[in-house]
Amino acid sequence: MTELTLGAVTLLVASTVGGMTGFAASLVSTPALLLIGYDVPQIVVINLTATLVTRFAVLLRLHRRVDRGRVAALGAGAVPGAVAGVAVVGYLDEQALRTGTGVVVTVIGLVLLLAGDRLRFRPGTPSTTAAGLIGGFLSTTTSLNGPPVAVLLDRCRLDPAEFVANFAGYFVVTNVVSLALLGAQGRVPPDILWPALPVLVLAAIVGNRLGGALTDRVPVATFATVVKLLVVASGIATLLS
């Protein structure tokens, strides 16, 4: 199989997971795309574009379930975070960044998984903006911008549809800004734009539709556990990648 075919299969599977949970597509696709042979700048553009397109479709479908104040607070943090990320990404050691991100995400996920409802913290506007800030920074440096917001939304005790809808709003804002910044800085590899990117995005759209059909069929308690497990898995995958 060619690199593009393997990449399309990867995006199909990753976006099915992302369509069901509202995030994690990039977390699943990144290690696999690295193994296939894509480099990091290409993967960042692939993930940001595929997530933007698929989450925009979700946002149109679930816009009535979006908490606009929460998404606005996330966006208020994500924009300066993305600016900071694109300003320093050229000076950061890529492996050190991934290792640090992986360790932090794994620990947070384990705390959520093991502590469960004993954690009484309920996010307010400052913590929501902080989660957006971290997510924005990770967006332009690694494209792994989901875990901080997944942790925050888990504390909000949303039902699956609300969780997915709010995540979609966050992703649309963050990924538009991130791609614009990367383009302005000349960090979009021209060789990924054609024909690879359209093919990979199409595979992501198909996977997203498959996963989205499963969202309403997953019990709330099961959904919450899956989200926490994915946060842990994303941290480990980031370390291994």
Instruction: Confirm if 103 and 152 have CB atoms less than 8 A apart.
Output: no
Alpha-carbon torsion (224, 226, 229, 231), positive or negative: negative
C-alpha distances (whole Å) from 93 to each of 25, 30, 46, 100 are 24, 18, 21, 11
User: Residue 76, class by beta-carbon neighbours within 10 Å (0-12 exposed, 13-18 middle, 19+ buried)?
Assistant: middle
State residue 224's pLDDT score. 67
Q: Which pLDDT score is estimated for 137?
A: 92
Say what the pLDDT of residue 41 is: 84
Whole-number pLDDT of residue 180: 94
Q: What is the dihedral of CA 29, 184, 141, 208, to 10 degrees?
A: -30
Q: Is the pTM of this model over 0.85?
A: no
Residue 89 near residue 140, CB atoms below 8 Å = yes
pLDDT of residue 36: 83
Segments in the chain below pLDDT 70? 1, 94, 97-98, 101, 105, 108, 112, 115-122, 215-216, 218, 220-221, 224, 227, 231, 234, 238, 241
